[in-house]
A and B are shown apart, each in its own frame.
Chain A
Amino acid sequence: METEKGISMNRITRRKFLVGTAAGMLMTSCGPKRLYELARPDLREALDRMEKEYAVKYGKAVKVGSEGPIKGVKFAYALDLSRCIGCRTCVHACVHENNQSRDPEIQWIRVAGIDKERGVDLTHADYYYHPDKVPEPGKFYVPIQCQQCDNPPCTKVCPVKATWKEPDGIVVVDYEWCIGCRYCMAACPYGARHFNWGEPGLDPADVNPDTHYLGNRPRPKGVVEKCTFCIQRTRKGRYPACVEACPVGARKFGNILDPDSEVRYVIENKRVLVLKEELNTIPSFFYFYGV
């Protein structure tokens, strides 16, 4: 009898179970939330708070937008490998548009210089070329940024679900929720994610005040960041900064669901490839040969 009683003391009774569940649910609902879980008014409140913090930190008004995905739109990108001259204008336009840290240096676009003889072979790419003039004879250039995969390995490995794919195809990071474990960086086969090892060095004069909460708002130390197809611009209908900066017009952007869009023309009429197709990541970023 005694042993039976002893067991019954430890046994989870119906009452204990219900109380425990209720307490657990209460604590979860009261705790901090991911930004994407917040209701719109609460989100705006959180963003207003951010705007105030940025105003103090940078001494100027920084707008943190929260534009949602547009219905019937899925973004895609096309880059003309036959035209790219490897001048890195896009890299630096991106840095200025998206408030990347200047020191320590973070750049969302990396340009691979490859020998024409080798073809698209990233294992022999040189990311640090610095000749007097580009393009160099016998070389071609492959700018690499986030490929906004339809089957993204990076979002699957996130232990806290701080990164996900939006309905318009953009893979975003919630900088408030990211714990900096960098699993996503290990999972990304394109090296497109970057970690803020130190406090981002961003001069107040360089801050682009037009930001989005899932995109280019200034990041804290210890979070991962990546290309968002300039979410703060493209969700308002504008072209990404890299598209507008490219001096040879190699970069094309648009809605892949619109049959009249530039990217659809490229996919239907040009020779198109995606990087590391064999990994089945299904990128939304296409490389093509325009000539």
Chain B
Amino acid sequence: MTGRHLLPIAAILSLGQALTAGTLKAEQPLEDTAAKKPATAKPVPAVAGDEIEVPPPPFSEGIYPCSDCHEDMEVNRKRRKLTEEHENIVLKHDEKNRWCLDCHDAEDRDYLHLASGKKISFDESYLLCGQCHGTKLRDWKAGVHGRRTGYWNGKKKYLLCANCHNPHSPRFKPIPPKPAPRRPVPGLQWKRKREYR
């Protein structure tokens, strides 16, 4: 009986909480981004709600904005081996069919572009990845692909695709494992048992 009486009260309370939380959520991220982070580091907005924070894209040191160098350069759309700059980038990501300018925008180098030609910023690179890897994007939005840290019932931190996968060579490389557990020594359990007594 008491439970039945309490239920509507709890519902009203939670509704009130949700309303206040909603207004707070709308305000807080704006302040955060304005205060702490540069323009490229804003949290991914529309994906999974305002409670999720995403770190900035992992640019190599001093490489962004690309327009610093590219602005005065003539656009060369010819597929070729790069020799003067970026020669360290090895493309192993469907390299037979693709090349730099299939993802990077030739007109405005500080942006990427989708297959449709729509320009997107590096913060939204997940849209670009999702063109081919749609099921992965779906899982990522649900929180099942990729690592989440923070609070299971609150503010989470999430990573962009490029924070884990090198976009030019996305497959994970094998890593050395942490030390294995010690093998039990035959007979040790009896020795330990004696010590324990």
Contacts and interface: CB of A to CB of B under 8 A. Distances in A.
How many B residues touch the partner, as a band? 20 to 34
Given A198-B192, A253-B152, A266-B144, A127 B175 contact: no
A237 B154 contact: yes
Given A234-B152, A238-B152, A89 B174 contact: no
B186 interface: no
Contacts of B145: 249, 290
A256 to B, nearest CB: 11
Nearest to B175: A87
B177 A88 contact: yes
B43 to A, nearest CB: 18
B53 to A, nearest CB: 14
Contacts of B174: 85, 133-135
The prevalent SS among residues of A at the interface is: loop
A49 B15 CA distance: 41
Contacts of A234: 152
A231 to B, nearest CB: 13
A91 B151 CA distance: 21
B172 to A, nearest CB: 7
B150 interface: yes
Contacts of A127: 180-181
Interface in A83-102: 85-89, 91-92
B148 interface: yes
Nearest to A88: B178
B164 interface: yes
Contacts of A255: 152-153
B178 A105 contact: no
Interface string A79-122: 01000011111011000000000001101001000000000000
Interface of B: 139, 142-154, 164, 172, 174-183, 192-193, 195-196
12 contacts: A85-B175, A88-B177, A128-B180, A198-B195, A198-B196, A239-B149, A239-B152, A243-B148, A247-B175, A248-B172, A249-B145, A290-B139
Given A128-B183, A247-B175, A265-B142, 5 more contacts: A87-B177, A130-B177, A237-B151, A239-B151, A249-B148
